Amino acid sequence: MAQENNFELMLTQLYQQLEGDDDNEIAISKKIPHPKINSFARKIHWENYYPTVKAMNRDFTHFQIYIQNELGINTSLKNVMNIREGLIMHTKCRDKQLKSLLGKYYSSYVICKSCGSDDTEMDKLKDIAKLYQIKCNSCLSTFNVV
């Protein structure tokens, strides 16, 4: 009887994972908020763009350009004078797609390749157009990313 209940529990968890009901399906970091988006006819308003980029300790324009390049879309700030109001993306995309994009950016441009810490800083290298250097504050290693 106990084995049957255990099997039922495991089966239920498996179905939840397959259906995507699990909120932790893309675990980026506990300090980075999940994207809050409002969908309109032909665009999406990412409401918590400012706190998300601020939590990653990255440049707002670098992340905005990354989104544009990965999704092949145009983006604009909702209010140029106040970045806290969010980002407008001129496309239709799903919440899962945005979380996946955020996870890819986080693993490529935030996480230290040596120790896995997210306590890093990114600086643009002088005299080289699109090369950035990421410095880890935990293990003091540096690496370059495009």
pLDDT in tens, 93-102: 777 888 888 8
The CATH code of the domain at 29-110 is 3.30.30.170
Weakest-pLDDT range from 15-24, 27-36, 73-82: 15-24
| Dihedral sign computed on CA atoms, order 24, 25, 30, 32 | negative
Instruction: Say which amino acid occupies 20.
Output: G
The strand pairing partners of 115, in sequence order, are none
**Separation of alpha carbons 121 and 134, rounded Å:** 6
**What confidence score (pLDDT) does residue 18 get?**
63
Mean pLDDT of 53-75: 89
Cα of 43 vs its chain's centroid, Å: 19
**What confidence score (pLDDT) does residue 25 get?**
40
Q: Which of 55, 34, 56, 58 is nearest to 46 (CA)?
A: 34
Predicted confidence band at 26 (pLDDT cuts at 50, 70, 90)? very low
**What confidence score (pLDDT) does residue 96 get?**
80
Neighbours of 63 (CB within 10 A): 19
Mean pLDDT of 60-82: 84
**Separation of alpha carbons 88 and 124, rounded Å:** 25
Task: State residue 112 phi and psi, 5-degree precision.
Answer: -70, 135
Predicted confidence band at 22 (pLDDT cuts at 50, 70, 90)? very low
Q: Which residue ranges make up each domain of the chain?
A: 29-110, 113-146
Cα of 38 vs its chain's centroid, Å: 17
- Could you tell me if 113 and 142 are in contact, meaning their C-beta atoms sit under 8 angstroms apart? no
